[in-house]
Amino acid sequence: MKKICSICGNGLGSSLVIEMTINDALEDLEKQNEFEVTHTNLNSYSSDNDYDYIVCAQDLADQIDVSGKTKKIVLSNILDKETLVSKLEEM
């Protein structure tokens, strides 16, 4: 199972909305069974993780580092499922 995690500052607002968008995007790609989707907040996040993808909003992108195999997906519009689908397809 691949792991994809949404991150926001507080862990209860944007990250939940991003998680919803991720789930919808994965459904569109018919890959919902290939991924484990979770969310977290900035304080709990560490770049030393085993996520395949992390997804965040543009304003937080600079505060989030990734290492190893983790790919960072930055969304300027976290309600936009189509853009997330294209980004996931590209990767």
Smallest distance from other proteins to CB 20, Å: 5
Judged by CB, which is closer to other proteins: 29, or 61? Answer: 61
Judged by CB, which is closer to other proteins: 42, or 85? Answer: 42
Q: Rounded to whole angstroms, how far apart are CA atoms 22 and 81?
A: 7
| Per-residue CA distances from 51 to 47, 69 (Å) | 9, 8
Positions touching other proteins (CB under 8 A) are 8-14, 16-17, 20-21, 42, 57-60, 63, 76-81
| Per-residue CA distances from 24 to 32, 37, 46, 66, 78 (Å) | 9, 11, 26, 24, 12
DSSP class of residue 7?
E
Smallest distance from other proteins to CB 63, Å: 8
Smallest distance from other proteins to CB 14, Å: 6
